[in-house]
Structure 1
């Protein structure tokens, strides 16, 4: 009985401290919250900040959201991370009491808290918000030629550049014109939250390239395109544009179709006429009555 009483005497203060810690974490949520970014497959370090002269005796790391779980503890110089949480086997408590999580998964985003207690009984609570992002893939850029208008200057080509990153969210789109000092674009030329860029090109822009940059807080990638190559009015000598092909192919196809119809009608008309002549020759012989 004495041994059980001693164990309960040790555990009860811990449970009481845990309850007080939960209350403090709710009260200090907004005051001490910080954001931490991580990448899927990588690692992140949740730093436990300690004031000068704060001699830590106990430390408790917990996950607050989406589920409340005990992740790691430090009591009397002994770290412990073997708790049955979703971070079992992926959590490491360092000597400075910061918690490292790896490898990160897309579902690891959430809120975390650490309670630090010093040798004088003072408590300090920190709340950290972890956001885990996917690695940004290389975007896809498509070029669309605008229909020339009456106000468009001659020998110019207006295009729309469309940028898209597949199977990802929480990304930002931006454009860069290579070879220039000013990388920014006019806001009036950007559409759909920066995914579409309108560009007016002239003969001096034949080798000008544009890059679409997709990024999130932990990664980025880009794709480059030379839009002048898609402008049909500057087709190479000997190559016909799709409009020239239509102007030639469509009339010839109509003439061939009309000729075929005339030929079929003529054949049918000739055959019918010949049949009528044969009938005229046979009819008198069959209509003479026998005397």
Structure 2
């Protein structure tokens, strides 16, 4: 091949080499990920770029605001002094996360061959979850409705345990039925969100006497105690009266005997 032919071939292939180079660099950018973070803690957003030597410029933005670039690695605007741009892998660290930090972050690259497709990262910031178990008011003794409540309304999942045994229910409400004589049975709710987990417990009992009373006629345990107390009081008064009458009769007999002895 002559020198002119080689030159023509070289010139004609140059755009192809540039295009292939761009495709190779673009292929090193990962798919758009989703990252979860916790309020008050830190999170690292990866740039998704592996060929650091080819990069001539990097810019992280949040919405329409540029928050960090190779010339300002410590952040701007709402992220001032809360972010740090790593010059080695161009990842972005966000400290002291706030709920309003949730959203889409875009990382734009420039190389010697031009600008690459923007790499997007979606950040979702959650509060640490807190849970509490309460008993729905009820007049039933051995049945209860337990409610598990949290400080969050979305992205919450539930699990229940009876003692150490996992239950099949996966909602914030649990219907409980105990057998007569079961005392202090622990029911635990495990509530979780994508970044944290919290547990809360409550104890339930099934009093045997109360269960029998309800089953036999619906008489409440309080009424039964009142009746028993009244019967006990009547019996005590009757016993006192009986002793008093017996003493009186005994005294009368002694008086008769004494009169009979004096007359003789």
TM-score by length of 2: 0.62
Q: Alignment partner of 2:176: what SS?
A: strand
**Aligned match of 1:70:** 66
Matched, 1:172 2:164: no
Out of 78, 85, 95, the residue aligned to residue 102 of structure 1 is 95
Q: Does 1:115 align with 2:108?
A: yes
Q: Which residue of 2 aligns with 1:264?
A: none
Aligned length: 191
Q: Aligned-pair distance for 1:179?
A: 2.3
Write the distance in 2 (CA, Å) between the matches of 1:73 and 1:83: 8
Q: What is the distance in 1 between the residues matched to 2:118 and 2:209? A: 67
C-alpha change, 1:205 and 1:47, in structure 2 (3 Å) is farther
Partner residue of 2:81 out of 73, 79, 89 = 89
Verify the 8 A CA contact 1:44 1:100 in the aligned structure 2.
Answer: yes
Would you say the 8 A contact 1:117–1:124 is kept in 2?
A: no
The answer to whether the Cα contact below 8 Å between 2:75 and 2:83 also exists between their aligned partners in 1 is no
**Superposition CA RMSD, Å:** 3.2
Q: In the aligned structure 1, how far is the partner of 2:51 from the partner of 2:59?
A: 19
Query: What CA distance in whole angstroms lies between the structure 2 residues aligned with 1:157 and 1:100?
Result: 53
Shift of 1:234: 5.4
Kindly state the Cα deviation for residue 249 of structure 1 after the two structures are TM-superposed. Answer: 5.4
> How many Å apart are 1:84 and its aligned residue?
3.8
Q: Give distance in 2, aligned partners of 1:233 and 1:143.
A: 20
Q: Find the aligned partners of 1:56 and 1:178 in 2 and give their Cα distance.
A: 57
Identify the match of residue 220 of structure 2 among 240, 243, 247: 243
Instruction: Write the distance in 1 (CA, Å) between the matches of 2:163 and 2:94.
Output: 39
Determine helix, strand or coil for the equivalent of 1:86: helix
In the alignment, the residues of structure 2 paired with residue 54 and residue 203 of structure 1 have an alpha-carbon distance, to the nearest angstrom, of: 74
Q: How far apart are 1:61 and its partner, in Å?
A: 0.3
CA contact (8 A) 2:157 2:193 kept: yes
Contact 1:39 1:135 in 2 (8 A): yes
Q: What secondary structure is seen at the aligned counterpart in 2 of 1:33? A: coil
- Secondary structure of residue in 2 paired with 1:226: strand
